[in-house]
Amino acid sequence: MPAEKAAMTNQQVETTPNSAKAKPNKFVHTTAQQFRAMVMWLENPRNYKIIVGESTAGKSVAHGVGITKIEGFKRMACYVHGATMAHMSSTGVFDAALADPWSAQVCQSRWKSFFARYKSTRDKLKHQTGFGITAEMLAHGATLEAMVDKSCPYYYRLDKIFCELSNVEPSSHTVEPEMEDGDAYWGLDSSVDISCNEEVFRSPDGEAPVQ
């Protein structure tokens, strides 16, 4: 091979790897640990009021009396990130794709999708349609509870929080979310680092400190 051609080939080999690097995924499925953290954060009555807009009702947000929804999602994102990092630390399995904290806007989007799944599942249960459990499935150990959890992780805990809300309408009146079939179901026991939160409270069931 001529020296000039060989030099060009070597130059191509040296510059190719950088351009051929795999691009990071733009979307990472919400994990069960993240779903659980969102639910735990909302089980605190103060946090629940923020997300449904009751925190700012009749209050001035300019002087810090009321907390806006977007600030609430910022706090939720912080809590979810703490739970995710604590879980990875306890299991010894690190996933770089899950290490980046959500922005308030990303957290709000994840929550809207999660809440839409809850409403869709609630509608199916209310009208006793959509799950299609057969006698054969029951004989092989299938349960309604398992199918409900697959449709919406932590459905029953969410229902305990939201079942009395007037804005929980049948899913036919809402935008259907993309069902995340690829969601990773992790182990659920973990401590949570919430050092980035200004205040600390304990969730009603005492599972972990929640802002």
Q: Domain spans of the chain?
A: 27-178+185-210
Amino acid (1-letter code) at residue 82: G
* pLDDT tens per residue across all 211 residues of the chain: 555 555 544 444 344 344 334 344 446 789 999 999 999 999 999 999 999 888 665 555 545 556 899 999 999 999 999 999 999 999 999 999 899 999 999 999 999 999 999 999 999 888 876 677 778 888 888 888 988 999 999 999 999 998 765 455 544 333 333 333 333 333 333 334 444 444 333 343 445 555 5
Rounded CA-CA distance 160/43 in Å is 9
User: For residue 172, what is the DSSP state?
Assistant: G
> In this structure, are residues 124 and 130 in contact, taking their beta carbons and an 8 Å threshold?
yes
Rounded CA-CA distance 44/50 in Å is 10
pTM (predicted TM-score): 0.64
202 phi and psi, to 5 degrees? Answer: -105, 140
Rounded CA-CA distance 141/143 in Å is 6
